[in-house]
Amino acid sequence: MKTVIDGADLTPSQPLDAALRLPNGGRFYRCALRVNPFSYLLRHANQTPFSGETEYNAAIVTGCHVAGIEVIGVTDDRRMQESAGLIQAARDAGIYAFTGCEAVTKDGVRFLCLFGSGQEACVATHVADAPDAIQRIPENSGAEHKRGRAIAIMNASDVNGPEDLMKDGASCFIKMSSVSVEALRQAFLDPESRIRPGSDPRPEPHAEFLAVTWEGGFLGGTSVHLNPNLNVLADGRGTGKSTMIESIRYALGLEPLGDEARNTHEGVIRHVLRSGTKISLLVRSHRPNQRCYTIERSVPNPPLVKDEAGEVLELSPADVIPGVEVFGQHEISELTRSREKLTRLLERFVDRDPALSGRKSRLRLELERSRGRIVDLLREMMALDERLAALPGLEEARKHFQEAGLEERLGEKSLLLREERVFADARERMDLIRALHGVVGDAMPVDTAFVSAEALEGLPNAAILARMGPVLDTRLGQN
């Protein structure tokens, strides 16, 4: 089985589309290598809700698609003929199916035997239930069984129905360039990097470089289909390794951090890629949703970002692939000689709290408000201090006023103010009376009680004020 990415839906660029159809190394396939056929269930009297082999086979195929299983091994007990129906149903559905069986040696050791085109592979089973003496063999801990290369251990429990496919122990991840018995053998030789338990969490979606192509320049006509895991460039001097790295950096619009690296980068662009060379980079972003973008840059123009339909977007490469960093062959060594640049290099390993910026802004605002309140309180305290500083002088002045008899004089002043108010009241009432006299005439009595002896009693000039009564009576009488 060969997996091909349909680039027509990812990019309108024909060179990138062609690059996606090139092999790109190994990837992890989810494999369930111990699937039993329907005849196994009948022979062992296993309860099953399926009425026949066809229904069972269809359910297994559906279960594989739901669980994300791409490879199965159909391994009946010591027989293979009755597995043909399930194998064919899986292959028709695009699932790679190994023909196989389970064999048992005379001393009770069980093996899964998987067969490809003229090749076979054997996998020991039931390791978890092995006696302590044998358990040291897969653990590679017994001195008498110590091996230079550890035995590969994987999940491959019995699958007797689609529900078993969802269990962690039923499948594992095996890294292969293409599915075959030879690929399994290579994975068993390097289990630490090529075999993962089915219970392992899937890697979180992350930004990906899918392919890169060159049109013109030193690498003109070159296309690379990048692997989703680690990519390594290994070749002799002058074969284009640095040119490829600097091309990707240039397409992304990134500047080198080191001075020497900047000179190298500019030299590659000017003398190796040269004016008119176009670099195309296909990337896939998963946030906020999964989308592919084509980044194109022709020397010496700025980069362009296009969507899957080829429309130019008002975006920069940093908008679609944020946080990406590119370093040249000798740039890391250069950066280690500068503490400032080394700090910038190591800063990417610091975990950042996305809510930290908002909290800092709120704290700054609260601190500014507190500072304003503190300044206002300091002003009030200064004003109070000034008033308190003037208090002794005020107390001394009050004593002098008391000694000079100011309080008695102020009392007389208060009485004079009362007398002044009496005159004002008299004028107001005279004005009212004059205004109304023509209307009411003699029928309106004149109120002169406010200048009676009782009302003026105690006033210093009561005698003078008392004369107002007769005057009022006389004046009003004449009017």
Q: Which CATH number fits domain 208-349: 1.20.1090.10, 3.40.50.300, 3.40.50.720, 3.60.20.10?
A: 3.40.50.300
Query: CA-CA distance, 308 to 362, in Å (whole number)?
Result: 40
> What DSSP character marks residue 44?
T
For residue 410, the model assigns a pLDDT of 66
- Give the β-pairing of 304-306 and 312-313: antiparallel
Q: How many CA atoms lie within 13 A of 459 on its CB side?
A: 23
275 CB-near residues (< 8 Å, 6+ apart): 299, 300
pLDDT digits (tens, 9 = 90+) for 332-387: 888 888 888 888 777 777 777 778 888 889 999 999 999 999 999 999 999 888 88
Is residue 212 within 8 Å of residue 248, measured between CB atoms? yes
Residue type, 150: A
Q: State the residue for tokens 């023509």.
A: 438
CA proximity to 297, closest of 266, 273, 332: 273
- Of 195, 152, 153, nearest to 173 (Cα)? 195
Domain boundaries, the chain: 24-197, 208-349, 355-404, 416-478
Cα dist from 406 to 401, 409, 411, 415, 458, whole Å? 5, 5, 9, 14, 21
CA distances (Å), origin 318, targets 16, 278, 283, 285, 305? 20, 19, 12, 11, 10
Residue ranges with strand state E in 198-356: 208-215, 223-225, 278-285, 291-298, 304-306, 312-313
- DSSP SS3 for 160: coil
Model pLDDT, residue 295: 96
pTM exceeds 0.85 for this model: no
pLDDT one-digit tens code per residue, 250-270: 999 999 988 899 999 999 999
Mean pLDDT calculated for residue range 54-74: 96
- Determine the average pLDDT of the residues in 194-201: 87
**What backbone phi and psi angles, to 5 degrees, belong to 347?**
-60, -25
Helix (H) or strand (E) holding 110: strand 110-115
**Tokens found for residue 139:** 């653990």
For the range 228-232, what are the long-range contacts, defined as Cβ-Cβ under 8 Å and sequence gap of 24 or more? 228/24, 228/27, 229/25, 229/26, 229/27, 229/175, 231/25
Q: Flag the least confident range among 67-71, 257-261, 312-316.
A: 257-261
pLDDT: which is higher, 184 or 143: 184
Q: How many CB atoms lie within 10 A of CB 20?
A: 21
The SS3 call for residue 111 is strand
What's the pLDDT score for residue 444? 55
Assigned CATH topology for domain 24-197: TIM Barrel (3.20.20)
d(CA 34, CA 476): 131
pLDDT at 432 over 80: no
